[in-house]
Amino acid sequence: MKIVNLKADKPSVEQARSRLRSEISLARQQRHTVIKVIHGWGSHGVGGDLRIALQATLATMAEAGEIAAYIAGEDWRISNELSWKLLQTHPALKQDSDLGKGNKGISIVTL
């Protein structure tokens, strides 16, 4: 799984959206099928512009068929149907440190 940290340099929402699209394109070229996007969830744990905007972008991309799907970090757990399907096809992901932690600061993207 490719890991992309979009929050590290505190970009604007538009910069982060642009980087997200670029990283997804690059991941495809590198033949990755799963990406963990680190976007953070707000400095006070109450949301955050990047998280909201990037998850909305991922939802739109999934609806348009630009990505296969995305799983919000809070849903990245074995009991989630989409997560479970992904884990069945990629068993190594069961070792991911965020699995089952309810980490709202990440999203899992399937290509």
Q: Give per-residue pLDDT as tens, 32-63.
A: 999 999 999 876 554 578 999 999 999 999 99
- Tens of pLDDT, residue by residue over 61-82, are 999 999 999 999 999 999 999 9
What is this structure's pTM? 0.92
**Residue 9 pLDDT greater than 60, yes or no:** yes
Full residue range of the structural domain in which residue 26 is found: 2-110
**In the prediction, which pLDDT does 63 show?**
97
H helix count then E strand count, the chain: 3, 4
The CATH number covering residue 44 comes to 3.30.1370.110
Rounded alpha-carbon distances, angstroms, from residue 95 to 56, 81, 88, 89, 90: 27, 18, 13, 14, 10
Per the structure, the count of domains in the chain is: 1
Dihedral sign, Cα of residue 12, residue 15, residue 21, residue 22: negative
